Amino acid sequence: MDQSSKPSRLLGVDAARLAAILGMFAAHIFSLYERGPEGAYSPTFTGAVAAGRASVLFMVLAGVSLTLLTRSLARRGFSNPKVYSVLALRASIIAVLGMLIGPSNEGIAVILVHYGLLFLLLPLALRLSRTTIWVVSALWLLIMPILWRPLAHAWEGQTLGHNPTFLDLLTPELLLKDILVTGYYPLMVWVGFGLLGIALGRTSLASPATAAKLAAGGAAAALTTLALGWAATSRFTEQIAAAVRIPLDDVGALVAAGRLPRVSLDPLLADPSYIWLPTAHSTSLVFTLHAAACAVTAIGLMQLVVPLLGLVGWFLAGAGRAPLTLYAGHILVLPLMQDYLPPMAIWWILCAATAALGLWLGFTKSTGPLEYVVRVLSGADSEPPGRGASAPPSR
């Protein structure tokens, strides 16, 4: 494990977490599509921009955080077995939290069980060299969406239909199929986002030159894959319309937003052309690569710009220090507000709560409440054997 870098807060990484959280807020509050005056559907800004990309950014940042946490623990004197014990406990706590709060809001595909399992699986890759982890993450993101599609088609319908709970442990085969292949966040592919995060965590993220290269390279890849996806999809719009039985005028909205009322792209899973869809949460090859590139762009851009913003940067980074608290909190409070308040009011309430938390964490330099609980319960705050008191981990 690399122990050479001096521990410090990466403000851009914290701010990128905030961007991911706000993107998921938007995707969970606002509609992804709307009907125009002529009756045809079109994607909303949320459906065209935030959906899918925010959750992928969240997963990529999980890999970055895992790398930084591991480095911090090793620097404080934790042995390799102890480091992996902390990571395994952390993963288990997050997965248990997801199973506890998931049933409270079935209108949202809660990501925490998958997020926790990602933390359980990714430590296997931490000992890979910097070059190897880049190669493995790239190959994973290129190959797994292609292998995933026929498997998802063969097991179509074999899904939980709800957020994972402890009761689902009684049907382990179905639970594993849902988490790995047929569910909303199939780890068969999504592990690649975590591997990409580990690769990014191995770079000199604090270097403006590195951040600029990530932002520019990621933006170029994101634009290229999106253009490629739409160009390829335009060649079989009639095929899509026939497969899902919608008017040709609605195909663009369906491809952009991923779904329309009582309509999804699942009937197209049997066709190899599915891999070209530039559609959020489709797990297509094109969107997998596009979303990964968007995440790299966001992290590079935030790491380049946020450290230059002074107090504003500290404020943005402060809110990003509590991603688990903010995510779990909005899962719990949304059902209490959605029956009584319009979406825009809910959005501003959540933004105000996020801003207040950001101000507190930014000036106190502490972490969020749930983050603190997970850190303590996982043993990350414990004193390494044979060492005196040491500073708390940077992350």
Residue type, 301: L
| Cα distance between residue 297 and residue 304, in whole Å | 10
Three-state DSSP at 43 gives strand
| Cα distance between residue 378 and residue 98, in whole Å | 16
**Cα three-residue angle 9-140-324, rounded to 5 degrees:** 35
Is 67 a residue whose pLDDT tops 70?
Answer: yes
Local confidence band at 73 (pLDDT 50, 70, 90 cut-offs): confident
Residue 106 token pair? 């079935």
Burial profile 344-379: b = 16 or more Cβ within 10 angstroms, e = fewer: eebbeebeeebeebbeebbeeeebbebbbebbeebb
Helices (H), the chain: 11-29, 45, 53-75, 80-101, 112-121, 130-154, 172-177, 187-201, 208-233, 237-244, 251-257, 285-305, 311-319, 323-337, 343-364, 369-378
Residue 145 token pair? 């969406």
Three-state DSSP at 382 gives coil
Mean pLDDT of the 308-319 span: 87
Burial profile 94-125: b = 16 or more Cβ within 10 angstroms, e = fewer: bbebbbebbebbeebbbbbbbbbbbbbebbeb
How high is the pLDDT of residue 392?
A: 46
How high is the pLDDT of residue 380?
A: 77
How high is the pLDDT of residue 275?
A: 94
User: With 0-12 CB in 10 A as exposed, 13-18 as middle and 19+ as buried, what is 266?
Assistant: middle
Q: Could you count the other beta carbons within 10 Å of the beta carbon of residue 13?
A: 23
How high is the pLDDT of residue 386?
A: 59
Please measure the distance between the N-terminal and C-terminal CA atoms of the chain and give it in whole angstroms.
16
Is 391 a residue whose pLDDT tops 60?
Answer: no
Query: What is the average pLDDT score of the chain?
Result: 89
| Cα distance between residue 275 and residue 288, in whole Å | 9
pLDDT 10s digits, 149-166? 999 999 988 999 899 999
Q: Which candidate, 30, 129, 4, places its Cα nearest to that of 347? A: 30
**Cα three-residue angle 363-367-372, rounded to 5 degrees:** 150
Mean pLDDT of the 113-136 span: 91
pTM of the model: 0.90
Q: At what angle do helices 369-378 and 80-101 cross, to 10 degrees?
A: 130
pLDDT 10s digits, 244-298? 888 888 888 899 988 888 888 888 898 899 999 999 989 999 999 999 999 999 9
More confident of the two residues 7 and 26: 26
Is 1 a residue whose pLDDT tops 90?
Answer: no
Q: Which candidate, 343, 375, 258, places its Cα nearest to that of 25? A: 343
| Cα distance between residue 140 and residue 33, in whole Å | 31
